[in-house]
Amino acid sequence: MRIALTGIAAAATLAMAGTGFAQDYPFRDITTAVVWGAGGGTDTINRMIMAEMEKELPVSINVINQTGGVAGSNGMVYVMNQPDDGYTLVGLSESNVTAAVQGGWDKKFDYWYPFIVGGSPDLISVGKDSPYNTLQELVDAAKADPGSIPAAASGAGSIHHLNLLAIEKGAEASFKFVPYKGSAPGQEAALAGEVALVVTSLAEQAPLILGGELKPLATLTPESAKIGDMEIPSAFDIYDGLDAYLPLKQAIGFAVHNSAPNDVKAALGAAFEKAIASEIVANWAADNYYDVGGQYGEEAQKLFSALESNFAYTLQDLGNAKVDPASLGIEKP
Amino acid sequence: MEFFIHQISEFGTALTNLALDPITYPYLICSVFLGIVFGALPGLTATLAVTILTGFFGNKFPLEQSLIALIGAYVGAIYGGSYPSILLNIPGTAASAATAMDGHPLAKKGRGGEALGMTTTASFIGTLIGTLFLLVFVWLLLMISKNIASPEKALLALFGILLSGTLMSKDLVLKGWISGLIGLAMAMVGLDPILSETRYVFGWSYLMSGFQVVPVLMGAFAVPQIMDGMRAAGSIGQKVDVGKIVPKVGTVLKRFPTIARSGVIGTGVGALPGVGEDVAGWVSYGVGKAVCKDGKDFGTGSVNGLLSAEAANNAAIGGALIPLLVLGIPGSPPAAALLGALKINNVIPGPTIDPALIVHVVAILVMASFTMAIMGLLTARVFINVLRIPQTIFLPVVMVLTTIGSFSVGGGINDLYLMLAVGFVAYAMNKMDYPIAPLVIGVILGPLFDETFRRSLLISDGELSTFWTRPGAAILLSLNIALVLSQIPTVKRLFGKLSFTS
C-alpha cells in the first residue's frame, strides 16, 4: 500500500514537473545572490531594482547576500554552481572583474550576461579641517614630499584604488595608498584625520559632504558635479593628462549565466527595461546621486570586458595579480 | 541643557505617538519574538534576522513599520542568544558567548530560572542605557568615536585578546593565552587585509576568505558540549527547579552598579564603527572581572559576570546606531543590514539626517526593550523546560540546528567541515583543561587587530610611537600593560602586600 502511494506521489510530482517545464519562464521564485555585504551600494541597488522588476514579473525575487572570497568570488562561484535556468541571478559590480586575476575563480567575466543599473562618479575629497582647499594645493603638497600624504581607498584593485592611481599618473604626484575594507571605513578614516584624502563615489560621500564633514575637491569624470548648492570642479579641467587614464566608472547591477536560454534572457531584459524606465528608479537614482545605466546583454558585456582588461593589467603592473591575465584570455587594454 | 530638554520632550511625543498607534503592536511583538528565536537558535545571528526582514519588507511597507520590525528583531536576537548560552552552554550568537561563562554554571547549580530572569533584566536595562546615550549624548559619543583611529582600535582589540588570558583557565593562566594565540593564528588565514597577499592558504581557494566566525563559534562551543552531553546522558531529563524568574527589585538595585557600568562600556564599544555586540560583551566581562569584588569567582557562576556580559551586548545596540544614523557608518554588522533597509527606502543616514528620525528610532528601541523584557520573563518559564527533555533526544536536535546555523552564513559545505574540525580540536582542548573561549575571541578580534595594527604602522611609517603619542592610544596602552602585569605572579604578590599593609 505504502509503495503504491509513493508511486502515485512520484508520478504526480513528475507530472507537475512536466507541466512546469512547459510553462514560460519564470514560473517559480527567483533568487538574487548579491556578492557584497548588506548596506553597501551593490546590495541596495539590487534590492531596489529587484523590487521594481518583481512588479513586471509574475513571481517574487528574493535577495540574499553571499559574501566573501576574493573580489566577491564566493557569491559568483555559488551562482555558477546553480543551474543556468535564470532562477538564480548574481548581484555584482565592476569590482568583481578582478576575481579571476586575483585567483578567486577561473572564468573570464563574459561568463555572465550582465544588466547594468548604474553607477556614481568618483570624487577626491578631504576632511573638513584639512588645510587643502583645491586639488592643486593637494597635488602641490604631494609633489613637494612624494609618498608622504596618506590617501584612503578601498582594497588594492578596487575601482577607487584605480582612480587614485590614475590621478597620481595624470597629475604626476604620488600619495601613500592606505587600503580599507570598503568605502565607509575609508571615509571614516578621513573624518578621523587618519588619512588626508579619500577617493570614493559621490553617492557614498553625499551625506557627509552635505553635512559639512567632507570637503570635495574634484570629480574624476569629465563632467563637474553639483551637490546641494556646491559645484564640484572636474579634475579633467585642472590636469590635461587625465583623459589617458580616466574616466573609470562604476557599473553596478546583476547578471544571469551567459549560457541561460534565450527566452530567459528576453524575459529578464523586458522586465529590466520597464523597471529601469520607472519613475521610482529615476527618483531614487537622482536622490542618491547615481547615474542610471540601463545597458544589458552584449552592450553591457562590452563595457565589463573593457573594465576587466583595464583592471586586470593595472593589477598586474602593481604586482597584485596572482594569475596572468593573458592566460585567462583577457586582452590588453 | 536646552538640547537635553528639547530631546526629552521630542522623545515624549514620539513615544506617545508610537504607543498609541495600534499598528505598532503586531509588528513589535512578532519581530521581537522572531528575533528571540533567531538569537536562541545556535548559529543564526542578529545580522541574519535583520537581513531577512529587510528582504521581506523591502520598500513595500512604510518605513515606520519596517523600522519597528527591524529594530525589534535586532533587540530580540541579541537578547535571545543568552537562552542557549545559559541553558546549554552553547552561545546562540557570538554576542552572547561571554554570557555562557557564568550563565551555564548558574544553571547547573539549579539557578537557571534566576539566571534567565537576571539576564532579561540586564538586557532590558542595558538596551535602555544605550538608548539614553543615543538620545542625549549622541554628539558627545560621536566626537569620541570620530577621534578613534587605527591605533586605538588595534589596542582595544589587543586588550580583548589579552583579557582571554585571564579568563577561566583552571590551573595555569598561560593556558588561556595559548588558546588565545591559537585563535589569533587562525585569524591570520586568508588574504591579508592590507596587501591582499595570501597567507596559510595552501592553494585552497576556500581558505582565501579566512575562517568565518559562526562555524568556529559553533565548533568551539556546541560540538564539544554535545559530545560531552551525549557521553554523560541518561535517558531521563534533568530535574528542573524553575524557582522565581522575575528578580526582586532589591536584588536588581544591589546589582545596579554592575549593570550601569556594563551598559556604559557596551554603548561605548558599540559606538565604534565596525566593532559590535560580541566585542562589547567580552570587554565588559573582562573589565567586570578586574573591578568586581567577586572577580575571582567569574566563570564559576557569578551573577555579576553574567550581568557584565549581558547588559553590555544589549547596550551596544544603541551605541552601534549612533555612527549609523549620524555618520552613515554602521557600528556593527546588524547595523549594516539596517543601513541597507534605510537606503532602500531612500533615507540616507548621515550628518544631514532628520533629527526627528533619531528620536523616532529611540522611541522604537524603548518600546522594543519593554516588549523584550515582558516577553522574556514570560517565555523563560517555557524555555527552561527544554532541560527536562532527555539529552539523548534533545542534543541530536541541537546538533542539527547548529549545523543549519553554520551553513546559513556562507552556504558552503566547507563551513561544516570547519565546524567539525574545530569541534574535535575544542573537545581535545577541553579534556586538557585549555579554555576554549580565548580561541574564539582570537578568531573574532584577530582580523580587527591585524588590520588596524598594520595600518597604524603603514601610516606612521613604521614608527611605534603612534601607539602612545595619541591620548586615546596612551590610555589604552597603559590598560594593556596593567592587564599583563596583573597576571604575573611576582607583581600580583607585590600588590597583594601593598594592599595588605595599607
CATH number, position A196:
3.40.190.10
More confident residue, B177 or B362: B362
pTM over 0.90: no
Residues A111 and A219 in one domain: no
Among A191, A222, A244, where does a domain finish?
A244
Q: How far is CA B132 from the centre of its chain?
A: 19
- The answer to whether residue A323 scores a pLDDT higher than 50 is yes
Residues A200 and A167 in one domain: yes
Residue from B196, B326, B469 whose CB has the most chain A CBs within 10 Å, to mutate:
B196
Residue B362: the pLDDT is: 92
Pairing of strands A150-154, A176-180: parallel
Average pLDDT over residues A77-95: 91
Percent of chain B with pLDDT over 90: 27
ipTM over 0.90: no
- The answer to whether residue A303 scores a pLDDT higher than 50 is yes
**Closest approach of A150 to chain B, Cα-based (Å):** 7
Grid coordinates 566577491 are at which residue?
A72
Residue A304: the pLDDT is: 92
- In degrees rounded to 5, what are phi and psi of residue A206? -50, -55
- The answer to whether residue B358 scores a pLDDT higher than 80 is yes
Among A244, A259, A277, where does a domain finish?
A244
Least confident piece of the model among A82-96, A217-231, B233-247: B233-247
Reduced DSSP (H G I as helix, E B as strand, rest coil) percent helix, strand, coil of chain B, to 5: 75, 0, 20
Residue A127: the pLDDT is: 93
Residues A129 and A238 in one domain: yes
Residues A108 and A30 in one domain: yes
Pairing of strands B190-191, B198-199: antiparallel
- The answer to whether residue A258 scores a pLDDT higher than 90 is yes
- The answer to whether residue B286 scores a pLDDT higher than 70 is yes
What secondary structure does DSSP assign to B23-78, as a single string?
THHHHHHHHHHHHHHHHHSTT--HHHHHHHHHHHHTTTS-HHHHHHHHHHHHHHHH
Domain-located, residue A202? yes
Domain count, chain A: 2
Contacts of B458 in chain A (CB under 8 A): 176, 178
Domain-located, residue A12? no
pLDDT band (50, 70, 90) for residue A154: confident
Q: Which residue in the set A47, A74, A207 is minimally distant from B340, CB to CB?
A: A47
Domain count, chain B: 1
pLDDT band (50, 70, 90) for residue B157: confident
Residue B501: the pLDDT is: 44
Residue A11: the pLDDT is: 47
Residue B497: the pLDDT is: 60
Residue B73: the pLDDT is: 94
Alpha-carbon distance of A262 to A24, in angstroms, equals 12
**Closest approach of B336 to chain A, Cα-based (Å):** 5
Residue from B352, B358, B409, B453 whose CB has the most chain A CBs within 10 Å, to mutate:
B352
Cell readout for B81 is 542568544
pLDDT band (50, 70, 90) for residue B344: confident
Residue A1: the pLDDT is: 43
Contacts of B212 in chain A (CB under 8 A): 68
Q: Which residue in the set B323, B336, B459 is minimally distant from A178, CB to CB?
A: B459
Domain-located, residue A8? no
Residues A235 and A277 in one domain: no
Contacts of A37 in chain B (CB under 8 A): 336
Q: What is the pLDDT of residues A178-208, one digit of tens each?
A: 988 878 888 888 988 899 999 999 988 988 8
Q: Which stretches of B137-171 are DSSP H helices?
A: 138-146, 150-166
Domain-located, residue A14? no
The average confidence (pLDDT) of chain B is: 85
For residues B190 and A68, the answer to whether their CB atoms sit within 8 Å is no
For residues B211 and B189, the answer to whether their CB atoms sit within 8 Å is yes
User: A126 pairs with which residues across the strands?
Assistant: A197, A215
The verdict on a CB contact (< 8 Å) between B274 and A185 is: yes
Residue B498: the pLDDT is: 58
pLDDT band (50, 70, 90) for residue B168: low
Contact A323/B at CB under 8 A:
no
The average confidence (pLDDT) of chain A is: 86
- The answer to whether residue B502 scores a pLDDT higher than 60 is no
Find the helix or strand (DSSP H, E) in which A226 lies.
strand A225-227
Residues A237 and A133 in one domain: yes
Average pLDDT over residues B114-125: 92
- The answer to whether residue A13 scores a pLDDT higher than 50 is no
**Closest approach of A15 to chain B, Cα-based (Å):** 31
Least confident piece of the model among A86-100, A275-289, B325-339: B325-339
Residue A265: the pLDDT is: 93
The amino acid sitting at B83 is Y
Domain-located, residue A255? yes
The whole domain housing A167 covers 122-244
Residues A240 and A282 in one domain: no
The verdict on a CB contact (< 8 Å) between B343 and A39 is: yes
Average pLDDT over residues A254-266: 94
pLDDT band (50, 70, 90) for residue A30: very high
Residue B321: the pLDDT is: 92
Q: What is the pLDDT of residues B95-117, one digit of tens each?
A: 888 898 899 888 888 888 889 99
Cell readout for A183 is 568605502
Residue B238: the pLDDT is: 64
The verdict on a CB contact (< 8 Å) between A207 and B148 is: no
Domain-located, residue A18? no
The whole domain housing B416 covers 2-243+250-501
> Which residues, other chains included, contact B502 with Cβ-Cβ below 8 Å and sequence gap of 6+?
none
Average pLDDT over residues A230-255: 87
Domain-located, residue A99? yes
Average pLDDT over residues A77-87: 89
Residues A90 and A128 in one domain: no
Q: Rounded to whole angstroms, what are the CA distances from A19 to A5, A12, A23, A24, B258?
A: 21, 11, 6, 10, 65
Domain-located, residue A10? no
Residue B239: the pLDDT is: 63
Q: What is the pLDDT of residues B475-494, one digit of tens each?
A: 889 988 988 887 777 776 77
Alpha-carbon distance of B327 to B343, in angstroms, equals 14
Least confident piece of the model among A13-22, A278-287, B327-336: A13-22
Residue A251: the pLDDT is: 92
Least confident piece of the model among A48-62, A102-116, B164-178, B428-442: B164-178
Q: Rounded to whole angstroms, what are the CA distances from A321 to A116, A315, A317, B171?
A: 26, 5, 8, 49
Grid coordinates 513586471 are at which residue?
A56
Contacts of B63 in chain A (CB under 8 A): none
- The answer to whether residue A19 scores a pLDDT higher than 60 is no
Q: Which stretches of chain A are DSSP H helices?
A: 2-22, 41-56, 73-80, 135-144, 159-171, 183-191, 202-210, 262-276, 279-287, 298-318
Residue A18: the pLDDT is: 42
Alpha-carbon distance of B376 to B380, in angstroms, equals 6
More confident residue, B332 or A217: A217
Residues A49 and A190 in one domain: no
Average pLDDT over residues B440-465: 89
Contacts of B191 in chain A (CB under 8 A): 70
Interface of A with B in 72-91 (CB under 8 A): 73-74, 78
The verdict on a CB contact (< 8 Å) between B329 and A188 is: yes
In degrees, rounded to 5, the angle at the alpha carbon of residue A37 between the alpha carbons of residues B312 and B140 is 40
